[in-house]
Amino acid sequence: MHPMLNIAVRAARAAGNVITRGYENRDDLDIQKKGSQDYVTKIDKEAELTIINKIQQSYPDHAFVGEEGGRVEGNSDFTWVIDPLDGTSNFIAGIPHFAVSIALLYKGKVDQAVVFDPIRGELFACSKGSGAQLNGYRLRCTKAKDLNNTIIATALPFRNKANFDEELTRFTRVVKDAGDFRRSGSAALDLAYVAAGRYDGYFEKGLKAWDMAAGELLVKESGGLVTDYAGNNDPLYDELKSPGSANGLVAGNPRVVQNIVKRLK
């Protein structure tokens, strides 16, 4: 395992311990509202600090961008992009489907990625150019040639209802030709499941950099493709350059992505 990936794994597991303890005592979460249907708990914040502190022990000069405000300037070409608890609404409701997401960017490109599900003990990890793994076993995207009989993951814009009708139209175009769909509440796990061949494809608009960074590399390293809604490469780069500018994200094997993009257009 790459040394930096090894540190990311240790940080993810340490955050996972914080999350599982909090999950067992959800009566004391100190829930705060960040926006419409957007919440943060003290566990999100504690997990993020745990990740940053763990990584800084080995790489004190690296920069950090965390969902819960954990922005730290660095003196190197490395930046860690962190979502300490992707799926907070599930966590609050007691639905056991959420994950820690950690990505390391080198000169703006994702180089290492970890998505850790602390409830199931599933660790999705990869280094650029070395393939993706789940608990040590190699991952591959599915080989579906079209949308027929596929399982497609997505999410409707529950936080921004102004775009609901537009996204519902797009959703209908895709799902009516697919076999089935899933809406899990965790973008990081949706992308990891695409990499693992559990889902054939995934699309969603309104994702932030920390939602997609680790999952994007997992999909690519499992033989998949990641584009925006127009079929352009690297929506993560657009989001990092100008937050809120990414034109959605589509992931899956190349043929599935092509079929989804065709309908989204």
> Domains of the chain: which residue ranges?
3-138, 151-264
Task: Retrieve residue 252's tokens.
Answer: 């899956």
Q: Which two tokens stand for residue 190?
A: 């949706």
The CATH number, out of the four listed (3.40.190.80, 3.60.20.30, 3.30.450.90, 1.10.10.10), of the domain defined by the range 151-264:
3.40.190.80
CB atoms within 10 A of CB 241: 11
Would you state the pLDDT for residue 34? Answer: 59
pLDDT digit string (tens) for 207-259?
A: 999 999 999 999 999 999 999 999 998 899 888 888 888 889 999 999 999 99
Element (H, E) at 8: helix 3-23
In this predicted structure, what is the pLDDT of residue 39? 62
Would strands 38-40 and 63-66 be described as parallel, antiparallel, or unpaired?
unpaired
Per-residue pLDDT tens digits for 83-115 = 999 999 899 999 999 999 999 999 999 999 999
Confidence of residue 38 (pLDDT cuts 50, 70, 90): low
Q: Which pLDDT band, with edges at 50, 70 and 90, does 196 fall under?
A: very high
The helix/strand/coil state of 99 is strand
What is the structure's pLDDT at 35?
53
Answer whether 3-138 and 151-264 agree in fold.
no
From 198, 201, 74, select the one nearest 65 (Cα to Cα). 74
Nearest-angstrom CA–CA distance, 148 and 7 = 41
Question: The whole model's pTM is what?
Answer: 0.93
| CATH class, 3-138 region | alpha beta
